[in-house]
Amino acid sequence: MTRIGWSIPVFMVMLPFMTHRKSMSTDTIHRMKLTEWFMLVSLSIIWGGSFFFNAIALRGMPPLLVVWGRVGVGFLGLVCILALSSLEVRQYLNRWRDFLVLGVFNTFIPFSLIVWGQQYIGSGLASIINATTPAFTIVVAHFFTRDEPASVRRLFGAAVGLLGVAVLIGTDALSGFGNHVFAQFAIMGAALSYACAATYGRRLYGVPSMVTACGQLFSSFLVMTPVVLLSCRPWEMAFPGYDALGAVLGLGLICSALAYVLFFRILRTAGATNVQLVTLLIPLSASAMGIFILGEPFSWRLIVAMLIVFTAAALIDGRFSLRRSRR
């Protein structure tokens, strides 16, 4: 691809942010409290569990159809909850452009890139590359928010977190690094897209988390529909089994609807960089659930990786300082 060809998608990615430079947030973030930490760990458990749902759903459907069903079910679930709630949704409909940007950058682009990339590289290497999301978020938030400046401490914390994920997954996953370079760039592009979405999402301060999650999922569903219909042609496929349908239901209601409500709740109070710490915690949650639920063999690497990742999270959140205290 020519240099001009590469510049077009990069420009499209950054265009929504260029028009709102340094005005992404109207709130001031703070260091995460116990409530945010609890929600962050809960979010990592939910998204870590999505691997089990995906494994079941993919037995009866292609990956893109699973993602489409997931966002559709999640949207419908939130619509039902909003209909029963006292929230006045109509006052937020004028934010449809913001919901569309989130739907594209937080779901459509990263999900598509990950699904394509994992056809050529293993899930272990993909998880390590995806763990670069906090580092990307630190850089993007530095330029497009007022209160999330980049620092040596934060960047060092992101590097430590990446090391923790690599320790958990093992160095064998890195054996394929350098092969299928475009697939690796696709996963890295997904990480950058997540970073841009989290930073942009701070513009929606004041919009209830449930409304933001619903708007994002609806936008994702709309954007994905023509792509799925043209590429998967679901009407020509055999009807999937009830286990696959149940898995998509779980992915939609738990791993999308509930998860994104938590995501935007953390984003509103703790900021874009802190909410993306979830990408460091997801491999830990998935490994722990594999041991305790599926009976997979225990490895001390989980404990070591957990200590490293939580140290990284504390560095990024500001719990630790790299400077020596003066007497």
- CA-closest candidate to residue 85, choices 201, 208, 186, 195: 208
Whole-angstrom distance, CA of residue 113 vs CA of residue 189:
7
Which range of residues forms the domain containing residue 88? 31-317
pTM: 0.82
pLDDT of residue 59: 85
Q: pLDDT tens digits for the chain (327 residues)?
A: 444 443 444 444 445 554 444 444 445 556 788 889 999 999 999 998 888 888 888 888 888 899 999 999 999 999 999 998 888 888 999 999 999 999 999 999 998 888 888 778 777 778 888 889 999 999 999 888 888 888 888 889 899 988 888 888 776 666 666 667 888 899 899 999 999 999 999 888 889 999 999 999 999 999 999 999 998 898 888 888 999 999 999 999 999 999 999 999 999 888 888 899 999 898 888 888 888 877 778 778 888 888 988 888 888 887 666 555 444
Say what angle helices 209-232 and 96-103 make with each other, to 10 degrees. Answer: 50
Tell me phi and psi for residue 104, to 5 degrees: -75, -50
Residue 63: inside a domain: yes
Domains in the chain: how many in total? 1
Residue 15: inside a domain: no
Question: 61: left (phi > 0), else alpha (psi -120 to 50), else beta?
Answer: beta
pLDDT of residue 196: 95
pLDDT of residue 16: 52
pLDDT of residue 323: 58
Residue 323: inside a domain: no
246: three-class secondary structure by DSSP = helix
Token pair of 238 as six digits? 């055999």
Residue 204: inside a domain: yes
Token pair of 154 as six digits? 């934060």
pLDDT of residue 6: 39
Beta bridge partners of 177: 179
Residue 227: inside a domain: yes
Whole-angstrom distance, CA of residue 226 vs CA of residue 22:
35
Residue 5: inside a domain: no
Residue 26: inside a domain: no
Residue 225: inside a domain: yes
